[in-house]
Chain A
Amino acid sequence: MTNRQRPALIASLVTWPLVLLIAFPLLWMLLTSVKPQAELFTTPPDFLPNAITFEHYRRVLEETAFLQYFRNSLVVAVSTTLLVVVVAVLGAYSLVRFAYRGRELLASLVLFTYLLPSVVLISPLYLMLVKLGLANTLASLVAAYTSFALPYALWLLRSFMAGIPEDLEAAAMVDGASRMGAFVDVVLPQALPGIISTALFSFILAWNEYLYALVLVNSDEARPLTTGVMTMLISAFNIEWSLLMAASVMMSVPLIVIFAFFQKYLTSGFGAGGVKG
């Protein structure tokens, strides 16, 4: 084993400095957010704060519309995820298990839309949502976010479901289950890891989206975090970096939670989602 430990040690010594370099911007965000304002402007900057303060967090929560933005983001991301997962689970099952005309074409269309630039759809979507009277609402964001989350979810679930053996359903149906009964009792539990992975991806995509929010919403009532936090940057006379870093940290909390507890679903989603060569 010593034969193998030495290269491993060398690899660690090469890898870890690079890993820390990659992680540095995020560490710096965290450190900036707890430094007293005056400490930001020392030259050269101190790496660790001399005093730790949560004043910036308090100010973001109390003096800005951050909580409103957070709530909006949460509502939009959860709604988008629910809508997309329900539609995509049924659609992916249909694409994988049923034969009808146009199925291949539809599958290709899904893959194509997965590559489509948002800026192409943005003007017509804007016009459509204005006509429907949905401009400046959370519903307009859910509708717009579906345009990228649904193809992604379909593609992901399709490849997860393709991996479930058909024999299991056949056996359940021989035992008297209906087609939908077999779907609920056999396919859904088997596809659960895929469904979780899809839900997490949809949530993250919706949580992080910026362009549609920028175009479709211009009031604080419906503004999500992404555009909301940028508004804080633009409206401030002096850019208050410690406030922005505190807001950035809080905005990333759901992602950190997902990352800490569900990381294996994220990496398995990668394998399934179009990357698989």
Chain B
Amino acid sequence: MAEAALPGARLERRDALLGLALIAPTVLVLGAVIVYPLLSAIYLSLFSLYTPTLEGHWVGLANYRAVFGSGGFWSALATTAVWTVGTLTLQVLFGLAMALLLHQNILFRSLARSLVLFPYFLSTVVAVLVWRWLFNDLYGVVNHALMAAGIIDAPVSWLGTMPNAMLSIIVVGAWKFFPFVVIAILARLQTIPEALYEAARIDGAGPVSRFFDITLPQLRDVLTIVILLRTVWDFKEFDLIYLMTGGGPVNGTRTLPLIVYQQAFGLNQMGLAAAHAVAMMLVMLVFMLAYLRRAGGRVA
């Protein structure tokens, strides 16, 4: 087939106009639902805007002074950091362990994998309803199980007191999102050449040193990507926390996304909310850029 050898470069340079026509719908839609809202979020943050009437006036950087000058933003930032670090650590450790186990030749492996992956695809609303029932003060299974095991003497309020509420959302977040880590690592594990392990065995390496000398270095790249991605996603998580605790008790679990929502639609300060959102994005930008550098390197 001499035709098959036709250089792809010629194909690529031809009809650039067609290329533009094909990308046009994407550009239009992304412009309308992302670029325009993003720019107007920054613009809105310079206004004082009352949500119900949408009337407001220019205040310049006053909103930002309010954001950075009040304690609310900083304590929400700290809360977000606790939530992100807590749930991410559990997700990664448990996800890694589970991926290693599911990589073994266990009984009914595909069923086990399906059961483990399912929470990730489940609606957060469903996950929250189920867990709120499990955490129920009087009739929840969690309290019954812990009492039966002798760990607690009386029912504990899991969502109504601190630090229990934070602990609860961290656990539920880990349960919901660790399958993401499992899938990513499992896929990578399957591509590690068996020959590496054979060689290590011949050299007398035990399972522990095989893990640290072969598996972990091989997983380094995928772990970096997964951790960056999940850091960003956990940081901006709204649904799970809002539905589990609503940010309470008091403001114990009020993370940055919740403060933005609360300002915009609870306190009706849309301009101030936008300033909070932009400030939150600035904090996230470090992780976003790190991810873009890692994953975006493949764009070219």
- Within the assembled complex, what's the spacing in Å between the Cα atoms of A98 and B3? 20
A61–B18 CA distance with the chains assembled, in angstroms:
50
Complex Cα spacing A109 to B139, Å: 48
Interface centre among A15, A40, A107, A154 (most CB of B within 10 A): A15
* B59 interface contact, C-beta 8 A: no
Quick check: is A179 within 8 A (CB to CB) of the other chain? yes
Q: Is there a chain A Cβ closer than 8 Å to B22's Cβ?
A: yes
Provide the bound-state CA to CA distance between A267 and B185, in Å.
12
Say if the beta carbon of A48 comes within 8 Å of chain B.
no
Q: Are B261 and A122 in contact, CB atoms less than 8 angstroms apart?
A: yes
Is B8's CB within 8 Å of the partner chain A? yes
Q: Is the interface of B mostly helix, strand, loop or mixed?
A: helix
Query: In the complex, which residues of chain A have a beta carbon less than 8 angstroms from the beta carbon of B23?
Result: 90-91, 94-95, 98, 100, 103, 106
Across-interface contacts of A88 in B (CB, < 8 A): 26
How many interface residues does B have (CB within 8 Å)?
107
Tell me what chain A mostly uses at the interface: helix, strand, loop, or mixed: helix
The residues of A that contact B102 with a CB separation of less than 8 Å are 15
- List residues of A whose CB falls within 8 A of some B CB: 4, 7-9, 11-12, 14-16, 18-20, 22-23, 25-26, 28-29, 32, 40-41, 43-45, 86-88, 90-91, 93-95, 97-100, 103-104, 106-113, 115-125, 127-128, 130, 143-144, 146-147, 150-151, 154, 166-167, 169-171, 173-175, 179-180, 204, 207-208, 210-211, 215, 225-226, 229-230, 233, 241, 244-245, 248, 251-252, 255, 258-259, 263, 266-267, 270-271, 274-277
Q: Which residues of B contact A (CB under 8 A)?
A: 1, 3-6, 8, 11-16, 18-20, 22-23, 25-27, 29-30, 32-38, 40-41, 44, 54, 98, 101-102, 104-107, 112, 114-119, 121-127, 129-131, 133-134, 136, 138-139, 141, 144, 148, 175, 180, 183-184, 187-188, 221-222, 224-226, 229, 232-233, 235-236, 238-239, 242-243, 257, 260-261, 264-265, 270, 273-274, 277-278, 280-281, 284, 288, 291-292, 294-296, 298-300
Beyond A118-B236, A271-B187, 20 additional contacts (C-beta under 8 Å) are A16-B107, A26-B118, A29-B129, A40-B139, A45-B141, A95-B23, A97-B12, A97-B19, A103-B23, A115-B233, A120-B280, A127-B40, A127-B44, A166-B11, A171-B4, A210-B243, A244-B133, A270-B187, A275-B187, A275-B225
